[in-house]
Structure 1
């Protein structure tokens, strides 16, 4: 059996599609676990991790870098071309949006309260 892998993701922020280059990353969040040893027994502690999204967005005439920098409490859809879609709620930018005029690209970094498959 063969299956299709994700090659391109479409990102929508509050319904507006952001033209995104290949290589966007989505971390759905959850917990990181650190192991601890006591003799031969293994224990672990947990640390919560927020969902995050990193992408390179093309700076088109429809996208305002200042407005991108104001994103907060947004609903973001991460639509994979293999049919799996993820929704981030309560999303906000974590760093100022940075424009590379030589490449026409904006670096976009978001974090969110939740991420779920839809």
Structure 2
């Protein structure tokens, strides 16, 4: 059995497609389970992890740095070219955007309340 591997993701914020470069990362969130040792016995506890998205947006004439910074309570679609799509709800920017003028790139980091496959 063969299948297509994700190579490109299309990212939409509240329906607006972002001009992103390849290499965006999506962490659907969930639970981290750090291990704990007591003698030779291994235990773990659970720490909740918020869904996150990191991408590089091309700074075109339609992209306003200040507008990107104000994104809160957004719906974000992460559409993979292998047919799998994910929806982040209650998404918000976690760090101020930063423009790299030499490359025409803006780093965009977001977190969300929830991520689900659609």
The 3-state SS of whatever aligns with 2:106 is strand
Runs of 4+ more than 2 Å apart: 37-42
Aligned to 1:69: 69
Q: Which residue of 1 aligns with 2:14?
A: 14
1:20-99 to structure 2, matched below 5 A, reads 20-99=20-99
Count residues with an aligned counterpart: 118
Secondary structure, aligned partner of 2:2: coil
SS at match of 2:46: strand
Q: Distance in 2 between matches of 1:34 and 1:62?
A: 43
Larger deviation, residues 20-29 vs 31-40: 31-40
Distance in 2 (CA, whole Å) between partners of 1:34 and 1:69 is: 33
Shift of 1:101: 1.2
Q: Note the residue ranges of structure 2 that are not aligned, 5 or more in a row.
A: none
SS in 1 for 2:67: helix
TM-score for both structures, normalised by structure 1: 0.96
**What residue ranges of structure 1 are gaps of 5+ in the alignment?**
none
Provide the residue aligned with 2:113 in structure 1. Answer: 113
RMSD: 0.9
Q: Secondary structure at the match of 1:60?
A: coil
